[in-house]
Amino acid sequence: MITEFIQYIEVERRYSSLTIKKYRRDVEFFAIHLNTTTTFDPTLVDSDDIKGWIMAQRAANLSPTSINSRLCSLRSYYKWLHRGGHITNDPTTNIKQLKTEKKLPSFITESQMHKLLNDLQVLLNGAPSEKRYDIFRDIVLILFIYTTGLRRAEVSNVKINDFEEEFTKLRVLGKGDKIRIIPILNAMQDNIKRLVRVLYSKNICNSHKNFLFLTQGGEKLSDCDIYTIVHSRLQSVGIQGKSSPHVLRHTFATHMMNGGADMRSIQELLGHSSLQTTQIYTHNSISELKKVYNSAHPRARKLN
């Protein structure tokens, strides 16, 4: 029944290919643990089997975060079995997630971001003509993620006709087929229009699908391409630590929070289904408030 479940999340839920691969891997891993890969019968599993699986992973020094992620896949599988009438009791119902250490998201400071964009512009100005499309596209790509907060897979699938009202708005199809509208900053509109002109003038956009971010040969940038571009560009200008599209997404949210945006607006822009997911960005807002407090409050100045 694993195959049927995978078909369900692929066809009906329309999960991304990476998510589908992960769910399949996690459920099959559980079957391997039970030594029943060839005759795996999920209807015979009880909560003790799942607890034993969790304990085995802990004994193998797997992190609580990784175990919880696998458990999430298994929960989805058994919920699907229960809804379909294949089982009467869901064995994952009373299984609690392991406690994890809350990690703050990595992000780029505003001064680092300013330097990054300046350095890339200098690189573009000094580049030979045959290299300019790639560098300009990379700059627009980094700016685009930083000013919209889109996920890597969402960026990969952006098409020119997804923009509305002269590139002032973008219609995004996010997780769970949820559509959200992202406003586009004026300066970003100009960059996108310029990129589109380059695509057509150099005959790069030879696909009828009209994806925005393309290779020099006119192929859509894949998730992997986008990661490689962002990682290499950020590393090349001295950004330390994590340097990925997701870091730019975190940077977008953190800078929005520090600039005074309310959490509900950030939740909507990021496409989070739960406000709890968005609350992690309050960490840096509190940090900024402390700076303001220490510089502005008379008592704080005296103590300092």
Active-site annotation, residues: 151, 175, 246, 249, 272, 281
**CA dihedral over 252, 254, 260, 262, signed as positive or negative:** positive
Q: How many whole angstroms separate alpha carbon 217 and alpha carbon 249?
A: 27
Q: How many CA atoms within 13 Å lie on the side-chain side of 30? A: 30
Q: How many whole angstroms separate alpha carbon 109 and alpha carbon 121?
A: 18
- Nearest Cα to 91, choosing from 175, 11, 30, 7? 30
Number of residues that this document lists for the chain: 304
Give the 3-state DSSP-derived string for 133-166, with helices as H, strands as E and coil as C.
Answer: HHHHHHHHHHHHHHHHCCCHHHHHCCEHHHEECC
Q: How many whole angstroms separate alpha carbon 23 and alpha carbon 33?
A: 15
Spacing of C-alpha 132 from chain mean position: 28
Amino acid identity of 60? A
**Burial (Cβ within 10 Å: 0-12, 13-18, ≥19) of residue 92:** middle
**CA dihedral over 203, 206, 212, 214, signed as positive or negative:** negative
